[in-house]
Structure 1
């Protein structure tokens, strides 16, 4: 049992199917053998019944012939003529008596179908006969037949007709019943056509089957079969009828037999076993052959089905081993056809999908790691000795104040503030108030550059000052406003930045009075297809950062009309950072 558990699934399935088919074969053969055995018994019984009916038919005809023998022995005319024959008669008288007896015998001969001839021998040895048979053979046996008939004292005795097969001889003593003296008058012999009687029996077993034979003791006196050399069965007093199998010249024969209460005879029939059971034997052979063929076919198909079931599993195991060793390629796997929806195919496809997803996640993680490394490298570059930069700006600021240059001092302070915010990696979010300070420092620097051409306004509602927003979202919008509004024209540029609460949300707006956008450009800008000039942070990046922090319901929206300016609105939830 343990060895079976360690076998492959396909081998276990193959052994299981073979075991089931073998058990089925044994049960089928046992059932078929039992069914045919019962059928054989029915055939045997039927054969015995047919033989019994045949023997009764034969004996009925023989009894009719026996009745004719009795009628002849008791016929008044025959009795009278036989009595006259015992007295001295002239030649004419003897002829007349013989003619009358012949005529009487001729009438009796034609009265029954199976009477071949009738012979009458008087007490003086004179024979009278009617029929087609010669009486030469009887003359040699007349003395013995007379003695046999005399022992029956007027009763009938059946004996085999000497020298002939297929004929049976009825012998009866004729005794005078005149004055009841029962004197011996002669003997009447009737030759019965036994072969004709048997030939006219119904043939229930078909051609060449059911050949009838008759025996007395161990002596067979009639057979319509060429197998006369087969000895009749040895019967005991208890064997009234039955059947058996005998062999002759290497051939088997089915023999059924019936003993007769009418005479000390045994009726038996021989049927060639092969002729009788050829169809049954052929059917047995066909059934066994078909089942063996079915067994082999089932085993072959079972092997194929087992291989079809386990082949995807084996491939899956191979692929799992590759994955276990760190190889996430799916080349060792063959995807099952899409029309197959069995459990193994679904498992195979699910595993392939899982490996492909793992590959995608590994690739994504690898790219993210590269980006993180690159970002860390850039951050490292940005943080190279920031104190040196701060100290330098402080030195410039001190020199500007010492030399009476307030503008340079103011620009240096604003630049230092922006630099500290930009290189600070400790936080990614700021309050709106801190974002507003960054924008103010940025506008301070730009105002020294553009002077009266730049007019700006920053208005933050005190209610929303503590609300958190992603770091550096307003400064890029202010930079875009200067780039697209102030630089292309020479007129003063007005930029207004406001932050206020409305309907439970916080809105941050950046509005300018620039040339605005046409519909196509505005559509591209809202779709995130427009990038800021230079290396600044794009609008799409700002929108994605807001959605990442607050959800998809929030973000950035652009509204603009040609020659009427542009307005950028940021919507965030009202959440205080205090």
Structure 2
């Protein structure tokens, strides 16, 4: 229902507003879609290209780490290249106190070879001998020591003892030269070549900064690097915040994805080394990556807004060019509706608007001519009716007859008959002998007063009649026979349809430059439906036969409107069982009394 009301409201918009709104929609929508697709395509292109470059960096980092760990793996195989070490490890159980000088030299020479390999920077070495229980530990540039340590008590023993490959043990803190350093530790199980028996476990420590240096040599400060082993443990992490090891377990194999954490999004490239099983992960913030696209987006929005504004201005001017003549035509039509036919619209073009304006001017001209002819025809018709009535009655015969009746009635002493015949004679003389279309108001009042005198005798003084006219109005001219039909209607349709008793008041007053004459009665009145029907008929131009001689209430209104204009006429107010008030609005016209010769 709301949508229907909104659509109806839009339908009622002015044409100019509709054209402007449609132009804005038809321009803004395609422009917005094109701008969105351009920005999205550009952003995706940057992400794809950066993802490819980032994957190459990750693979290169992984290759460097793999190369380093491969060198470290070869270094853990160094005992197999030293027969002296193998023989030392294969000797029966010995304690650190029973080691010979040659055994110590053999172990220390092996340690020197490890530290001086030239390819991998080793910060510590530990050799666990399975026979004898003694352990050799050496830190770079420090004195070695021999301590009794049981290898089976080490936390990593179970993991290393089950494979012959080099195993990553984790990150540990090692004390050297009074300083605690973090190191990565790797271990390998050493077995006898002949018997396959486990002879020792070799643990090599690598400074943690070695891997950081290799990563920073390729990466830059805008990227975040992480390395996790095949078990999900964090090996290296360049940033303080970021996902933990549990969150990045999903990154296995190779790929590039967008990872969201909190309110930030990161472009993540990851690659799992087939050699070590370690996963190298590089993360770049999308906000940094797409910083240039923000400028492109703002530029597109600015250009689009400027184009939209320019288009709306052009369409607005174009719409006003179309609708202004239509609006002017509408205003002139309103004037025609209220009766002003002296209008014309200027024609500036020969297009559809110009042709419509020309047709309007022709229509108004024809309406004006038709109205004048209609007015003239009606006036001629009324004059013909009056002339026909006058020609059918012999005034002298009527006057003489009425005089005889009055004389005989006076001889018989019947004063009512004398009074009625005298008034009737005056009424006939006023109706027949005068050819004036307008008379002074006092003559029209005398005519109505005589008519009411006859009616009062007829109704045995059941009707009271009062006249209250401002004296200054008596000399102004009015149309003949406009009061008597209305007074007659008050008797027939008001008093007579009531209880037969009543009062009729004739009131005249001046208001501004107009004359207001009211005929009031306290008779039966009219219902709202009847009153509305009468008001609708007031504007019909067909002849009605109300009242005497066809000059009924509607006839009076039509005659006044035709003579003086539509702003004058009859106004009706009525309430059922309360009476009716008829108001005549007339112009103030100075009257010139003409002397008339009337037959006795």
TM-score by length of 2: 0.44
State which structure, 1 or 2, has the greater radius of gyration over its C-alpha atoms: 1
